[in-house]
Amino acid sequence: MIDIILYTSLLALVHIMLPNLVKSRFGEATSERARKAAHNFAESLPVFFVLAILSIHLNVESNETLALVWLCLRLVFVSLYVWGIGTKPANEKGYEAQPLRSIVWIISIGYLVKMAINLT
């Protein structure tokens, strides 16, 4: 589990740098999507860290696999978000739906819930 926590911390660092890294090469729109992906990641990161640390403390080994799947889903999520994969055309308010990204996000939250349930 400690390895997964370290990989997640590395992913957080990548999220912080990503908007600036993609801006010059891929443009402002991609940079903005990277910024939004980083913000989204930052919202679920504290929950993951708490669950991971509690899993270590309570010796809940089954959460290690769940944590690894969560991390992989977050990698897929950021890829979909930043590169705009599966983006539907904008509606009249300018909103661009990305159903595949939303599905990946929901599944990742489900894995956090499963981690929490395993702690009880």
- The CATH number of the domain where 112 resides is what? 1.20.120.550
| Mean local confidence (pLDDT), 48-59 | 97
SS3 content of the chain, % helix, strand, coil (to 5): 80, 0, 20
| Mean local confidence (pLDDT), 98-110 | 94
User: Which domain range does residue 103 map to?
Assistant: 2-118
pLDDT of 85: 82
13-32 pLDDT tens trace? 999 999 999 998 989 989 99
Q: How many domains does the chain have?
A: 1
Residue 69 has pLDDT above 70, yes or no: yes
Residues 6+ apart with CB under 8 A from 23: 30, 31
In this prediction, residue 46 has a pLDDT band, given cuts at 50, 70 and 90, of: very high
Nearest to 44 by CA among 17, 11, 18, 22: 11
Q: What is the pTM of this model?
A: 0.90
Q: For every residue of 19-35, which 3-state class applies, written as one string?
A: HHHHHHHHCHHHHHHHH
In this prediction, residue 94 has a pLDDT band, given cuts at 50, 70 and 90, of: low
CA-to-CA separations, 92 to 43, 68, 82, in angstroms, rounded: 28, 39, 22
Classify 120 as helix, strand or coil: coil
